[in-house]
């Protein structure tokens, strides 16, 4: 390890930046995140550096560099376009035992500015020793995607109670176990959601009874999106990877289920076409039962849990049992299917409104406000409408839509198995049958469907 990673206290740190072009400005921007005292010296300055000076964030000296500028400095960044001058400043700074960094010249860098993930007070710094900056940016992007933006709140909370915990637990091991449990449970989740008062109450209860077994868990109602794992939210992924129990249905793709914590118990409660594996009431009670046993339960639902996902029914049961819960929205199937099929749900030339409806059959009928659905300049998306497709087409025509109104059926949306079939209200049934469309499939009705062939970016499908 050639470069030893350290974090310098920047309070009262005096820093000199030689050069005032855009490269120097980027270093100044980074330094302005700290408490350092910053002076910039250069014969001219770019607009960004001049703005910092006008805002009195830095001291700007507009003249050529002289060795006297190093007086009383503790750190120097050299960012001029004169390689000879850069080397000269490097030698002078080293002679005076001043930390020096010559930008984009690793051999002349006594220290290297790392790639930073800033969640102050939590700071993650990475370096490749100057040999692989592109790889470093790639790794930083990965970290940015998995570390919650609000993890800083956890850092502030930990700082607030650090001494309290130290007084309660004399052993370093005991303190470590306590904090691990706090940061991996519902206390941390409440902090991340801004519920600091609730978090503090639970924290103090736990601190006062550290050996008591956890009596009540929590349920996270998580929208898994339409199928593509890349459409999961960061928060959904984080909760999936910390769950003790995962309750999922058939609309959750295998690729998404692979992202669940490996040792979590997985309970399938999926429903097949016209066949319910587990009645909804039993699913509701199952969630409450697992949480009351002290588990962190993720209820993983395809699409969004509040759009034809019966999420509201499940939460009502949890409230009845006194179980706390959180809801994580997901990309609803209608939005995912339409986007991946190149069908905008609204468009100034085609649709001024969009309506989501259920096409689920009850007693061989679909009880909907057909007059309200069959409106001009409106897109209709039917969930669970494959079996009821003949009734949907018949009723829409009966209530005023033209038989030539465009219709699309999207099967297995956003996945490699996606299939799109387009037609009209008068022929979509035959086309869907010929294409062997199977659940899960959505029906999109309206003029916007005519844009599919032009805007279809994900796959050509069938039409």
Where a domain ends, among 208, 239, 273? Answer: 208
How many other CB atoms are found less than 10 A from the CB of residue 133?
12
Q: Is residue 138 part of a domain?
A: no
| pLDDT over 70 at 214, yes or no | no
Residue 70: CATH number of its domain: 3.40.50.720
pLDDT band with cut points at 50, 70 and 90 for residue 180: confident
Q: Domains in the chain: how many in total? A: 4
Widest distance between CA atoms in the chain: 91
342 is annotated as contributing to ligand binding:
no
Residues facing residue 442 across a β-bridge:
410
Of 57, 150, 271, 431, the active-site residue reads 271
The verdict on whether residue 437 carries a ligand-binding annotation is no
403 and 447 in a common domain? yes
Q: Write out pLDDT tens, residues 222-269.
A: 999 999 999 999 889 989 988 889 999 988 988 999 999 888 899 999
Residues 95-141: tens digit of each pLDDT: 999 999 999 898 999 998 888 888 888 899 998 887 888 898 888 88
Q: Please give the average per-residue pLDDT across 321-337, as a whole number.
A: 94
CATH code of residue 386 = 3.30.950.10
Are 186 and 91 part of one and the same domain?
no
CA distance 218 to 148: 20
**Residue 446 region, left (φ>0) first, then alpha (ψ -120 to 50), else beta?**
left
Q: The dihedral of CA 396, 398, 400, 401: what is its sign? A: positive
Domain stop point among 184, 208, 232: 208
Identify whether 244 is preceded by a cis peptide bond (ω within 30 of 0). Answer: no
One domain for residues 204 and 294:
no
CA separation for the pair 163, 242 (Å, rounded): 27
Same domain, yes or no: 316 and 360: no
442 CA to centre of own chain = 26
Are residues 339 and 326 both part of a single domain?
Answer: no
**Domain presence at residue 462:** no
Indicate whether 143 belongs to any domain: no
Residue 281 appears among annotated catalytic residues: no
Q: Say if residue 223 is in the same domain as residue 312.
A: yes
CATH code for the domain of 287: 3.40.1010.10
Residues 235 and 321 in one domain: yes
My answer on whether 237 and 325 are in the same domain is yes
pLDDT for 137-156, tens place per residue?
888 888 887 787 888 999 99
With pLDDT > 90 as the criterion, what percentage of the chain qualifies?
69
Instruction: Specify whether the CB–CB gap between 156 and 198 falls below 8 A.
Output: no
Any binding-site annotation on 333?
yes
The last residue of a domain, from among 331, 365, 390: 331
Say yes or no: 327 and 369 in one domain: no
Q: Which structural domain range is residue 428 located in?
A: 334-455
* Residue 302 annotated as part of some ligand binding site: yes
The 10s digit of each residue's pLDDT in 32-58 is 999 999 999 999 999 999 999 999 999
Dist CA 314 CA 325 (whole Å): 10
List, in order, residues 6 or more apart from 172 with CB less than 8 Å away: none
Mean of the pLDDT values across residues 353-358?
A: 95
Q: Please work out, in degrees rounded to the nearest 5, the angle formed at the alpha carbon of residue 299 by the alpha carbons of 266 and 357.
A: 130
Residues 242 and 306 in one domain: yes
Residue of 69, 186, 228, 249 with catalytic role: 249
Residue 67 forms part of a structural domain = yes
Residue 135: inside a domain, yes or no? no
Query: Per the domain annotation, does 118 fall within a domain?
Result: no
pLDDT of residue 234: 87
**Residue with the larger pLDDT of the pair 353 and 182:** 353
Residue 213 has a pLDDT of 39
* Distance (Å, whole) CA 406 – CA 393: 11
User: What's the CATH number where 191 sits?
Assistant: 1.10.8
C-alpha–C-alpha distance, residues 263 and 242, integer Å? 10
- Our answer to whether residue 271 is catalytic in this structure is yes
**DSSP, residue by residue, 318-359:** HHHTT-EEEEE----HHHHHHHHTT--S-BTTTBSEEEEEE-
Q: Is 106 annotated as a binding residue?
A: no
Q: 102: annotated binding-site residue?
A: no
3-state class of 79 per DSSP?
A: coil
95-106 burial string, b = 16+ CB within 10 Å, else e? Answer: eeebbbbbbeee
Please report whether residue 134 resides in a domain: no
Q: Are residues 365 and 447 in the same domain?
A: yes
Are 426 and 400 members of one domain? yes
pLDDT at residue number 146: 77
Strands (E), 79-177: 99-102, 115-119, 122-126
Structural element, H or E, at residue 297: strand 296-301
Mean pLDDT taken over the chain: 90
Encoded tokens for 106: 């690793």
Dihedral pair phi/psi, residue 8, rounded to 5°:
-85, 140
d(CA 302, CA 331): 9
Residue 181 lies in a domain: yes
pLDDT of residue 113: 87
Does 439 carry a binding-site annotation? no
**Reduced to 3 states, what is the DSSP secondary structure of residue 395?**
helix
Helix (H, G, I), strand (E, B) or coil at 115: strand
């Amino acid at each position: 390890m050639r470069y030893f990673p350290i974090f310098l206290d920047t309070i009262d740190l005096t820093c000199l930046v030689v050069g005032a072009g855009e490269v120097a400005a980027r270093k100044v921007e980074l330094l302005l995140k700290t408490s350092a005292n910053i002076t910039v010296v250069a014969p001219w300055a770019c607009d960004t550096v001049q703005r910092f000076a006008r805002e009195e964030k830095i001291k700007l000296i507009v003249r050529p560099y002289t060795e006297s500028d190093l007086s009383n400095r503790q750190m120097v960044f050299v960012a001029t376009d004169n390689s000879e001058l850069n080397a000269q400043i490097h030698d002078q700074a080293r002679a005076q035992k001043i930390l020096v960094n010559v930008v984009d010249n690793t051999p002349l860098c006594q220290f290297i500015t790392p790639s930073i993930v800033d969640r102050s007070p939590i700071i993650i710094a990475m370096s490749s020793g100057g040999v692989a900056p592109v790889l470093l940016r790639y790794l930083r992007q990965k970290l940015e995607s998995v570390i919650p933006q609000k993890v800083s709140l956890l850092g502030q909370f930990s700082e607030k109670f650090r001494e309290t915990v130290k007084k309660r637990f004399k052993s370093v091991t005991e303190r470590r176990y306590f904090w691990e449990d706090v940061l991996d449970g519902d206390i941390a989740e409440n902090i991340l959601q801004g519920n600091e008062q609730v978090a503090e109450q639970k924290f103090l209860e736990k601190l006062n009874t550290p050996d008591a077994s956890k009596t009540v868990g929590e349920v996270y109602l998580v929208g898994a999106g339409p199928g593509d794992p890349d459409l999961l939210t960061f928060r959904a992924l984080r909760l999936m990877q910390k769950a003790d129990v995962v309750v999922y249905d058939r609309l959750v793709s295998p690729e998404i289920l692979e992202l669940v914590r490996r040792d979590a118990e997985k309970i399938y409660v999926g429903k097949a076409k016209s066949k319910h594996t587990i009645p909804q009431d039993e699913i509701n009670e199952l969630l409450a039962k697992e949480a009351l046993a002290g588990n962190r339960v993720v209820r993983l639902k395809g699409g969004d849990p509040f759009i034809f996902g019966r999420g509201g029914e499940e939460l009502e049961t949890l409230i009845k049992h006194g179980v706390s819960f959180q809801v994580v929205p997901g990309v609803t199937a209608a939005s995912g299917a339409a986007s991946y099929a190149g069908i905008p749900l609204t468009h100034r030339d085609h649709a001024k409104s969009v309506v989501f409806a259920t096409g689920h059959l009850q007693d061989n009928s679909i009880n909907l406000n057909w007059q309200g659905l069959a409106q001009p300049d409106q897109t209709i998306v039917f969930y669970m409408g494959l079996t009821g497709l003949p009734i949907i087409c018949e009723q829409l025509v009966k209530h005023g839509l033209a038989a030539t109104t465009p219709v699309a059926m999207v099967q297995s949306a956003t996945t490699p198995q996606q299939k799109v079939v387009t037609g009209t209200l008068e022929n979509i049934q035959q086309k869907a049958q010929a294409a062997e469309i199977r659940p899960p499939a959505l029906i999109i009705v309206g003029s916007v469907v005519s844009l599919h062939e032009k805007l279809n970016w994900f796959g050509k499908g069938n039409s």
